[in-house]
Amino acid sequence: MFGLLFANKQKLNTHFDAAWKKGDFYKASRIGQKLINKDNNDYRNLNNVAMVHFKLGFYEHALNYLLKANIIKETSIHWENIAQVQQALKNYKRAIKSYNKALEIEPRHMSTWYLLAQCYKEHNDLKSACCILTKLILVYPDNIKARIDLGVYLLLQGKIEKGKVHFDRALSYQDNEEIKAHMMKKLYEYRSKPYIQDLAYYYKALISGNKA
């Protein structure tokens, strides 16, 4: 009996993973619910179904599943996911606390630091966002996306020369087109500010010149 139950769960998990990879989140949600019906104390299933609901925009459902998963087994991933849902709900103070809970468990988890910085930025606390990203790149100096974000957040505070330092460092990774695209996307996102628009044109010309 238990062997059959395990086999059925394994098969459902395979179908769930396939639906997730295809981006068919409604199908993944249906399969995930079947998994929970079979075992509603499996924290992995609860976490997975929660993140499907998160992708679908059903934030309250996602949060309920994540809180239950975290009661069963407290992990940094659960706290990080809880924080992402709280952030989506614009409960920024709670989200910041949850990200910090995740970092208490896994202090070197790079994605948590990055998401925490984004949360501070959405909460209009650019100073704290810069502080978090500075700590992140001290430990992970090759995290260029974090460096680019730090440059942008410095620009938004009017610290143009300090921001340029990070953009110039990012461009030293000559062969990475993805980094250059991310940098230009970030600059154009805030081009309504004249000095950022000027920098966007400057770096666009510089990148084009390097390609030539």
Lowest mean pLDDT among 11-15, 76-80, 161-165: 11-15
Asked whether residue 35 is domain-assigned, the answer is no
The better pLDDT of the pair 136, 142 is held by 136
Q: Name the nearest CA neighbour of 18 among 54, 56, 48.
A: 48
Percent of the chain with pLDDT over 70: 94
The better pLDDT of the pair 11, 173 is held by 11
Asked whether residue 52 is domain-assigned, the answer is no
Asked whether residue 210 is domain-assigned, the answer is yes
Residues in Cβ contact with 199 at an 8 Å cutoff, skipping those fewer than 6 apart: 155, 160, 163, 164, 167, 187
> What is the average pLDDT across 114-141?
96
Contacts 24+ apart (CB under 8 A), 131-137: 136/110
The Cα 163–Cα 199 span in angstroms is: 10
Asked whether residue 47 is domain-assigned, the answer is no
Q: Could you count the other beta carbons within 10 Å of the beta carbon of residue 95?
A: 25
Asked whether residue 188 is domain-assigned, the answer is yes
User: Would you give the DSSP letter of residue 91?
Assistant: -
The Cα 128–Cα 199 span in angstroms is: 24
Q: Name the nearest CA neighbour of 198 among 167, 177, 173.
A: 167
Is the pLDDT reported for residue 7 higher than 50? no
Asked whether residue 171 is domain-assigned, the answer is yes
Whether 76 and 112 have beta carbons less than 8 Å apart is answered as: yes
- Token couple for 11: 């098969």
Give the pLDDT band of residue 212 (cuts 50, 70, 90). very low
- Token couple for 5: 């139950």
pLDDT recorded at residue 126: 96
pLDDT recorded at residue 175: 65
Average pLDDT, the chain: 89
- pLDDT tens string 45-69: 999 999 999 999 999 999 999 999 9
Based on its alpha-carbon atoms, the radius of gyration of the chain, rounded to whole angstroms, reads 21
Please count the structural domains in the chain: 1
Lowest mean pLDDT among 110-119, 129-138, 148-157, 183-192: 183-192
Asked whether residue 156 is domain-assigned, the answer is yes
Asked whether residue 67 is domain-assigned, the answer is no
The better pLDDT of the pair 104, 171 is held by 104
Structural domain of 182: 141-212
Is the pLDDT reported for residue 19 higher than 60? yes
pLDDT recorded at residue 3: 43
Give the pLDDT band of residue 174 (cuts 50, 70, 90). low
